[in-house]
Chains A and B, each alone.
Chain A
Amino acid sequence: MNQHILILVLNGLTQGALFFVLGSGLTLAFGLMRIVNMSHGAFYLLGGYMGLTVLRLTGNWTVALVAAGLSIALLGLLVERGLLARIRAGGDLSQTLLTIALSMIIADMALAVWGGHTQSIRSPAALSGPVTVFGFTYPGFRYVLMAISAAIAFGLWLLLYRTRFGIAVRASVDDRETVSALGVRIDIIYSLMFMLSAFLSGIAGVLGGTYLQLSPGEDTTILTYSLVVVIVGGLGSLMGVVVSSLILGQILSFSLAFAPQMSMFLVFVPMAIVLAVRPEGLFGRRL
């Protein structure tokens, strides 16, 4: 029985790891640019499909992971420069709406190119075997996923708190005008941040496509979970995403085990409670 609980906790951690990769990109872009990228789920799905194709061509999972991340980052750059930057004056709402319309297009094009059948990315053989620790077995790839997610968290922390880029980003979040006045090209910061966010969603697509599966409709499911993570954590807060993805992963894992017919409901209720008590989210600043 204790082992059962332990496995459920690990399952929750795996889910949480994926949620973190998804949520971190979304929240960072929001913190800086004040837009909620509603194409995040479509980026995820497209990233997964790109990874699938690259894996078929090269046979190398790591190459597929990086290629998917980079191709979605490039897409992010095009979207940011070509579309979002043009209507920045129109405010947050029109940019958010634009990403919604964009997600319709991306998801439909993915269906046209990769078809409607369920596909999944084969995990690298060296990483996918069951690993036995302390007498119980758990799929090896899930440990890998958790490790990658932790590495990304550390990398993001370094980037934000130990680099000039990070200083510029954090300063822009606090006071855009002053930073611009100091000669920092804020539009370049925006583009880089949106690319980073897209890169993370592309990577998440490969991770999710490997341990779960890829099929049409997955974009909406993933977008919904990403939004929950980001909202509960507090829009714009990296720490918030760490905490909320851990919490959400556990809720999902335990509700699927003990009340599968209520699982989705049980995910949204805590979100509403958090928001009712603290509308800005657990770690958000007052907006």
Chain B
Amino acid sequence: MKYKATRTTLAPLVVAAGIIAMPMGASAADEIKIGMLSAFTGTFASFGQLQKEGAVMALEEWNYKVAGKTIKVIYADDQLDNELAVTKAKQLVEQDKVDVVTGLVSGDEGLSVASYMKGKDIPIVPMYSASEDSTMRKWYPFVVRPTWTGAQPMDVFGYWLSKVKGLKKIYMIGEDYSYPYNQAGGFKRGFLRGGGVEVTTVWHPVPTSDYSSIISSIPLDKKYDAVLYNGAGSDAVAFVKQYVEFGMQSKIPLLGQSNTFEKPDLDSMPQQIVGAYSAHLTADDMNTPNWNKFRDAFQKRWQHSPSAASEFAYGSMELILRAIKARNGDVTDKAALAAAMHKVDLSDEPRGPVALDEYNAAIENVYIREVAVGSDGVMYNKGLFTAKNVNQFGPYDSKIYMKQPSDGPSSPPDLRADMPREMLEVAKDYEFVPFGK
């Protein structure tokens, strides 16, 4: 075949078709558009599914109507890829002309989108993206996050393990990206402050499927008190399964980060891990009227129990809808809409009362949990203790906290000896009340 460097009429015609075919964002006056950016396909499709279930439940409770306006949700699939997330955010902003952007699963994805959205003056409500800098060092007033930062539950968890349980040395194996960095950062700060000596960290690429070599390289002779697996999703299932298969559970106890033992991944894990601790902002056996109402409705709608990702999505969508209602359906002034979001009352949030701090980040209860087996033989996360009204800075002063470098693969330091003094002493630390009190 010859290479044909010919003129063709078709090429310009195709370009012309491209110009004509571009959809224009048609905007009806009585319609409010919410763009939901999440991973609906690809390795992390599970999170998109969980988020959508929570968000749809909130929307259905409002019947997709607020203050006489119809709520239209545009779902955009970013496969949890930072570059694709920006591309899709552009679509939501430029074409669909959405009034609010929500969704967002991972930390990096949240930071990338927030960076693109800066100056666009459209409120962003991250549902699960937990990189603390979105509501700290890189915050701007259009970011409203009624959910969490990675460090928030982990600071409590680390402190509890060293102060209350008396652990001294932890071996942490984590996924190599920003959300686990932030979880590790919180954990190290809390653990070393409470009297821990060392948190050794090992990072592995995402995704990894065979952990046997990482697991068999855990130095059993170095007297670590526990292994903390700092990963989630398919990585967590594979890691935990192989940890048990290698008989490690009987040699050194396993701890998880907030998402490691979350449902539905927990359903694919072996029952030998019963008793493993973790900390999150939900627990499966919460027994408050708000939680029970939510859980029953969720169970009825989707035929399975809710996980944290769904609850967060539900609560975030609730916040958006309530703010629109407070504005009486007028979303033209986006700054006022963001301000209204800050003022929304979330004291009836299913997982426990939520308030927003000056950076629009959540102040909320953190629960210490352990994996347990229910009477039906199915594993769940059983609440043990509650630390009430924890904010994103934990027990630290916000200025001292933000002066520290952002959490990364090797910051904060692994050893108590290397930790800045101001991060080891605080005026008032957490109090743990028995779960349910």
Contact = CB atoms under 8 A, between A and B. Distances in A.
Contact of B46 (A7, A8, A12, A118): A118
Interface in B294-315: none
A195 to B, nearest CB: 27
Interface string A95-127: 000000000000010010001111110000000
A139 B246 contact: yes
B204 A215 contact: no
Contacts of A115: 45-46, 49
A4 interface: yes
Given A116-B49, A263-B204, A213 B42 contact: no
A216 B41 contact: yes
A116 B48 contact: yes
B247 interface: yes
B82 to A, nearest CB: 16
Contacts of A117: 46, 49, 264-265, 268
Interface string A230-261: 00000000000000000000001110111011
A254 B207 CA distance: 17
A14 interface: yes
Contact of B237 (A11, A213, A253, A257): A213
Interface string B193-214: 0000000001111011111111
A257 B214 CA distance: 5
A213 B238 contact: yes
Interface in B203-241: 203-205, 207-214, 216-217, 233-234, 236-238, 241
Contacts of B237: 118, 120, 213, 215
B213 A212 contact: no
Interface string A120-164: 100000001010000001110110000000000000000000000
Interface range for A: 35 or more
Contact of B214 (A130, A212, A260): A260
A15 interface: yes
Contact of B205 (A215, A254, A263): A263
Interface string B38-67: 000111111111000000000000000000
B202 A260 contact: yes
Interface centre among B212, B213, B238, B264 (most CB of A within 10 A): B213
Interface of B: 41-49, 176, 202-205, 207-214, 216-217, 233-234, 236-238, 241-242, 245-247, 264-265, 268
20 contacts: A108-B41, A118-B234, A118-B268, A120-B241, A128-B245, A208-B209, A212-B209, A213-B238, A213-B241, A215-B207, A217-B43, A217-B207, A252-B213, A253-B210, A256-B208, A257-B216, A258-B217, A261-B205, A263-B205, A263-B208
Interface of A: 4, 7-8, 11-12, 14-15, 108, 111, 115-120, 128, 130, 137-139, 141-142, 208, 212-213, 215-218, 221, 252-254, 256-258, 260-261, 263-264
